[in-house]
Amino acid sequence: MRKHSMPESNVTHPNVTPLIDVVMCLIIFFMLVAKIGVTSGAEEMTLPKAILGQDIKDLGNTLTLNVRNINQPLPMVTALLPGHHDTTELKFEENRGGKIERPLLDLLKAARANNPEFKVIIRGEQDMPYRLLEPVLFVSAQANVKNVNFATETVQAKK
């Protein structure tokens, strides 16, 4: 009886085609989902937790304000301004050669005047006293910014 033997394989290396297929799919996924080099100016801080937080689709019309407690009567507010690579401190009031200027208010007023859809995102440390948030809300109201969003860390509600 004739014996059936395994055909002799001429290919000595593994077939990498399925590997390339999978890796290419992963690369396309990561390229679509990853946000590389895109920053909204959000700084690292512990945000308050919330369940009902929503996504903001239109981040183009927003300015993110980072509000921090520096143990002063007013908080430190920083934001990423257009044309800057890093966040800049925006003071409530500053004296420039005898002239009192309000950089935060002026910035919000200018942004609001040019864009009726303008929104502010407030990122505040969860332990910061409310009195430090108050001046930021006042300035937003003075600048006629109606849409104020509070950044929160999402937690899952128990079912």
Amino acid at 133: L
Our CB check for other proteins shows the closer of 51 and 113 to be 51
- Strand 94-96 and strand 99-101: the pairing is antiparallel
35 touches other proteins by CB under 8 A: yes
Q: Determine which residue in the list 1, 36, 70, 100 makes contact with other proteins, applying CB under 8 A.
A: 36
Q: Which helix (H) or strand (E) holds 31?
A: helix 17-33
DSSP 8-state assignment for residue 86: S
Least distance CB 135 / other proteins (angstroms)? 10
116 touches other proteins by CB under 8 A: no
Our CB check for other proteins shows the closer of 30 and 61 to be 30
For 27, the token pair is 């690369």
Lookup result for tokens 């909204």: 40
The window from 82-90, 95-103, 109-117, 127-135 that contacts other proteins (CB under 8 A) reads: 127-135
For 145, the token pair is 């910014």
Our CB check for other proteins shows the closer of 76 and 137 to be 137
